[in-house]
Amino acid sequence: MTPGARVAAAIEVLHDISDGLAAEQALTRWARRSRFAGSKDRAAIRDHVFDVLRCKRTAAHYGSGGTPRALMIGILRQQGADLDALFSAVGHAPQPVTEAEAKVPMPPEDEATLWNLPDWLIPLFKEALGDDAGKTALALQERAPVFLRVNIAKSDRAAAIKHLAGEGITAEANPLCDTALTVTEGTRKIRNSTAYAEGLVELQDGASQAVVAALPAGAKLLDYCAGGGGKALAVAAQPDRSVYAHDIDPRRMADLTGRAERAGAQVTQLTTEALQAAAPFDVVLCDAPCSGSGAWRRAAEGKWTLTAARLAELTVIQDSILDSAAALLDENGTLAYATCSALTAENENRVAAFLERHPGWSCSLQQRYAVGPKGDGFFAAHLRRD
Ligand SMILES: C[S@@+](CC[C@H](N)C(=O)[O-])C[C@H]1O[C@@H](n2cnc3c(N)ncnc32)[C@H](O)[C@@H]1O
């Protein structure tokens, strides 16, 4: 496909998204009906679509409108692309830019456009992040780096970097955590590499790894909201741990068995009914469902679909998860709460509300991880009985 045809395809996908399809679904559907597209085409189209989703307001500003075509014009203009070359109408490229579309607007000045956030989230970002609010909003507009976790049960960081280099993948130590690597070249080769197939490395955000590394010692750990099991697997690589995984929706753990086999890790999956019999645990990790606002550079749609009502709903779920998980803990155990949210309502406020509901408990650690080159935005807190 030509660069122009890729832009036309991205506009098509953005139409499907504006009709209500989730971005991943829209991209998959486009790929299914476009068998002629190669993997590089699909990757380029994906990049265009996610660039727009991360920066929808500035794209709309520079494209003077909110239609998929205007958004693409806006984002490409912002990126300094040659619009006349891309919108050439040659082959499958979009129609040339009109005289009206060719007018370049003055740079935006209002905060919400510059920060690429819905208006209602601006005060919440300021409340949560103070002087770092703008920096965080801007960081969420960047493409996320690719991070790997070195499986310390099978390799170490230096050996993994060497192994990956032999497969054309350049990675460097990520200072956020001893197990973390940042991939600087060859990201698209990871899934077909032997390092990945043999379980020497796993894809995992740097801050997620740091949250796991900060967990207290304790033989028996339950990952209460395990999902795909990224954190459970990271704990299972540590020596002297028995790891259990649970999710209210067990289908979310469908890949966990295969991933654990690849890693040579042992993770016991528990249904909700089986939790009580397996308790007490020394550590219960609650990586709770949240707005995902610390990870919006990966899942940018969330920025535009989150509502105040959904945020309030999430806080109720988070409180209930913490209460249920606390009941499964050994009396000397640690309840570890984590979110990939940047918002106070889902983080510090949930810890404070838990402490109010549970006299005789205190918080032994509370930490925020900033969105940036080392990882996504995360929050972690450890709660213990006094
Ligand atoms: C942030 S994701 C977990 C990600 C996972 N820990 C990882 O590192 O890959 C949150 C998970 O919590 C699960 N969940 C939602 N409500 C829950 C509840 N009440 N009890 C347990 N799990 C719940 C969701 O199904 C979802 O898989």
Tell me the β-bridge partners of 234.
Answer: none
| Co-location of 197 and 226 in the same domain | no
Average pLDDT over residues 191-208: 97
Q: How confident is the model at residue 73, as a pLDDT?
A: 98
Annotated binding site, which residues? Answer: 247, 287
Please name which of 335, 332, 229, 223 lies closest in space to residue 278, comparing C-alpha atoms. Answer: 223
**Marked catalytic residue, from 55, 225, 286, 340:** 340
pTM of the model: 0.94
Tell whether 293 and 230 lie within a shared domain.
Answer: yes
Are 289 and 295 contacting, i.e. CB atoms less than 8 angstroms apart?
A: no
Q: What are phi and psi of 146, to 5 degrees?
A: -100, 130
How confident is the model over 304-332, as a mean pLDDT?
97
Question: What does the pLDDT average to over 335-349?
Answer: 98
Q: What share of the chain is helix, strand, coil (3-state, %, to 5)?
A: 50, 15, 35
pLDDT of residue 155: 94
Pocket of ligand 1 (CB under 6 A): 208, 224-228, 230-231, 247-249, 252, 287, 289, 317, 321
Among candidate residues 158, 179, 203, the one where a domain is terminated:
203
Q: In this structure, are 78 and 38 located in the same domain?
A: yes
Coil/strand/helix, residue 183: strand
Q: What is the domain extent for residue 69?
A: 3-106
Same domain? 182 vs 232: no
Average pLDDT over residues 306-314: 98
**Residue 380 and residue 273 in one domain:** yes
Of 135, 168, 203, the domain-final residue: 203
Residue stretches of the annotated binding site for S-adenosyl-L-methionine: 247, 287
- Ligand 1 center to 321 CA (angstroms): 10
- Residue count (the chain): 386
User: Which atom of ligand 1 sits closest to the CA of residue 249?
Assistant: 25
CA 90, CA 315: separation in Å to the nearest integer? 51
Tens digit of pLDDT for each residue in 86-129? 999 999 999 999 999 999 999 999 999 999 999 999 999 999 99
Nearest CA among 205, 202, 226, 234 for reference residue 284: 226
How far away, in angstroms, is 225 Cα from ligand 1 center?
4
**What is the average per-residue pLDDT within 312-332?**
98
Mean pLDDT, rounded, of the chain: 97
* 185 backbone dihedrals φ, ψ, rounded to 5°: -150, 145
Distance from C-alpha of 50 to C-alpha of 342, rounded to nearest angstrom: 20
Q: What is the pLDDT of residues 215-243, one digit of tens each?
A: 999 889 999 999 999 999 999 999 999 99
- Nearest-CA residue for ligand 1 atom 17 is 248
In 3D, which of 250, 234, 120 has the Cα closest to residue 179? 234
CATH code for the domain of 229: 3.40.50.150
According to DSSP, the residues that pair with 383 across neighbouring strands are: 335, 363
The three-class DSSP label of residue 338 is strand
Same domain, 214 and 190: no
- To the query of whether residue 363 is one of the catalytic residues in this protein, the response is no
pLDDT for the residue 68: 98
The interface predicted TM-score of the complex, written ipTM, equals 0.98
Nearest CA to ligand 1 atom 16: 248
**Res 339: pLDDT:** 98
Query: In the predicted model, what is the mean pLDDT of residues 196-211?
Result: 97
Same domain? For 275 and 199 the reply is: no
Tokens of 26: 């829209």
User: Number of folded domains in the chain?
Assistant: 3
Q: Which residue has the tokens 């998959």?
A: 28
With b meaning 16 or more CB within 10 Å and e meaning fewer, what string describes 299-321?
Answer: bbbbbeebeeeebeebbeebbeb
